[in-house]
Structures are given as structure tokens and as C-alpha cells.
Amino acid sequence: QVQLVESGGDLVQPGGSLRLSCAASGIFFSRNAMGWYRQAAGQERELVARIGRDGTAIYADSVKGRFTISRDNAKNTVALQMTSLKPEDTAVYYCNVFPTNYMYWGQGTQVTVSS
């Protein structure tokens, strides 16, 4: 059974930082590209960043230069370091493989950027 468990979301002021983590089980983690996705209220879920099996990272234009995705294949985890947060980054953040597998969506973790 595949489980992707996100953690690290919080309420943070604009300009602040957060580090999200995703723990994966039930998949051959090192064989999968992984992604972080987010869904703001009333909007469709979007890809924020993805990281290949070789560690190559690609970012959405909206977060380029502010977010960093990383992976630890020994621990089956993928992280998202977020800096210079903006109110428009407010969303529920999810991890999944890339391309996504609809069966793998977890509960996500809420990030709220507000003063």
C-alpha cells in the first residue's frame, strides 16, 4: 500500500520560510521522479516543483528562485524548502510521483501566508 505523508505546513508571515517534508512508503522511491503540488481554495491543483531520479529539479515560474526541492533516497523522503513566502503561496501542499498517480494523493499539509 502506497502512502505519501506530508508535514511541515504552518501559518507564516509574508517573507517567511517553511520546510515541507514528504515521507513515502510502498513505492520504489528511488525509481520515481517526485513532485510537490499545491491547491489553493477554489483553484485547480498545480505542480510547484519536481525532481528527477538523478536529482534534476524543475520549478514553476511562480516559485523559481524561492523554493528548493530535494530528495533523500536513503530515507524515502522529498522536501520543499520555501523562502520569501507570499500570500499567493497559501494552499494545501501535496507530494506525489511525477507524473502523478491519482491513487497516491495524501492529505496534504496546509501552508498559510498571512500577516
Through-space distance between the first and last CA atoms of the chain, rounded to whole angstroms: 40
- 20 in Cβ contact with 48 (< 8 Å): no
In the structure, what pLDDT confidence band is assigned to residue 23 with cuts at 50, 70 and 90? very high
The closest of 40, 23, 47 to 89, measured between CA atoms, is: 40
For 31-61, write each residue's pLDDT tens digit.
999 999 999 999 999 999 999 999 999 999 9
- Quote the CA–CA distance of 20 and 8 in Å, as a whole number: 5
For 58-73, write each residue's pLDDT tens digit.
999 999 999 999 999 9
69-90: average pLDDT: 98
Determine the pLDDT at residue 8.
Answer: 98
What are the grid coordinates assigned to 83, written together?
523562502
What SS3 state is found at 10? coil
4-22: average pLDDT: 98
- Quote the CA–CA distance of 65 and 57 in Å, as a whole number: 12
